[in-house]
Amino acid sequence: MLSMTMIFAKSNRFLVSSVSAVIISAAMITGAEAANIATTYNESCAACHDSGALNAIKKGDSVKWQQLIKQKGMSALISSVKNGMIQMPAGGLCEACSNDDYRKLIEYMSK
Ligand code: HEC
């Protein structure tokens, strides 16, 4: 009986420590992503949205961006990037981006 309790206590402690390891690594990924929006923008979107190449709306043209966000809605804009448009390649050159990343990138450009 005593040994059963010890085994349980041991495995329970193992479970607790692996759960906290998962929580810590998830927090690190989230933190890294937030800091990386500017980098992702520079690597994926800036080629067109910095200069306005191919008539892309420029980063920082907040009047135009706010108008577009109001007109189409954020989820439609995210779909546009994912599916591509006339000139914009599908995914906007960011293969690893999630919907949430696209939302953050659009908000980043609209400021
Ligand atoms: C190769 C150039 C290019 C790249 C790279 C690019 N875009 Fe675009 N984007 C465009 C152009 C051009 C338009 C205007 C629509 C069109 O003609 O395709 C546009 C339009 C958009 C729109 C408006 C969509 C709509 O429904 O009106 C959003 C939002 C957007 N881009 C986000 C992004 C994001 C986010 C990235 C980076 C992950 C990105 N773009 C990368 C060229 C680009």
Kindly state whether residue 90 falls inside one of the protein's structural domains: yes
> Residue 107 C-alpha to ligand 1 middle, in angstroms?
13
Yes or no: say if 106 and 77 are a contact pair by the CB < 8 Å rule: yes
pLDDT at 24 over 60: no
> Residue 27 C-alpha to ligand 1 middle, in angstroms?
30
What is the distance between the alpha carbons of residues 36 and 72, in angstroms, rounded to a whole number?
A: 26
Report pLDDT digits (tens) over 73-91. Answer: 999 999 999 999 999 999 9
What domain range includes position 102? 59-111
Residue 48 confidence (pLDDT): 97
The enclosing domain of 106 has a CATH number of 1.10.760.10
Report pLDDT digits (tens) over 29-69. Answer: 455 555 589 999 999 999 999 999 999 999 999 999 999 99
Please state whether 104 falls in left (phi above 0), alpha (psi between -120 and 50) or beta.
alpha
Number of domains comprising the chain: 1
Residue 36 confidence (pLDDT): 87
Residue 11 confidence (pLDDT): 54
**Ligand 1 atom index nearest CA of 97:** 38
